[in-house]
Amino acid sequence: MGTSVSFNFPENWYVSDNFLGFAVCYSCKYYIIDCITAHLIPLCDDGMSSMTQEFALSNNSQYSHEWNIYFLLVPLGDSWDSCNANEKTPNDYGCIEFDGFGEEKIFGVRLLYKDEADMKKRPVAPLLRNKGNS
């Protein structure tokens, strides 16, 4: 079983009609993954549940050669549309957590926006090197 990594959002991270999703870059040593699960975690515990989406990774090699690198786009649209009836906004979620990674990893997340000029003002999660459970 793999480990998980989480990223806390800045305040008002979601901008309607401008937010595209989360770009994820992940590298691990001697570990091949075929599935990653993303969880949007609410800011406060008011009974609102997290949103979960599973992503299958394709074109994986059968063999792990030292370090493997994966790139993944996690769009918000499809997940959010199915959950939008509860009168919450994406800004009611304060964290995203990814599950299914190997024990030794380097990981990065970027919030993607349509407005490229505004991206310079948006925070980027640093690449993290973790060993064991996070």
- What is the model's pLDDT at position 74? 82
- What is the model's pLDDT at position 133? 43
- What is the model's pLDDT at position 24? 84
Total domain count, the chain: 1
Given a contact cutoff of 8 angstroms between Cβ atoms, the answer to whether 94 and 9 are in contact is yes
Given a contact cutoff of 8 angstroms between Cβ atoms, the answer to whether 74 and 21 are in contact is yes
Given a contact cutoff of 8 angstroms between Cβ atoms, the answer to whether 40 and 9 are in contact is no
Residue-number span of the structural domain to which 55 is assigned: 3-131
| pLDDT, one tens digit for every residue, the chain (134 residues) | 467 788 899 988 988 888 888 888 877 775 566 677 888 888 877 766 777 777 766 555 555 567 777 777 888 765 565 555 467 788 888 988 888 766 667 788 888 888 765 555 555 555 444 444 44
pTM (two decimals): 0.69
What distance lies between CA 69 and its chain's CA centroid? 15
- What is the model's pLDDT at position 8? 92
- Give the span between the Cα atoms of 7 and 98, in whole angstroms: 9
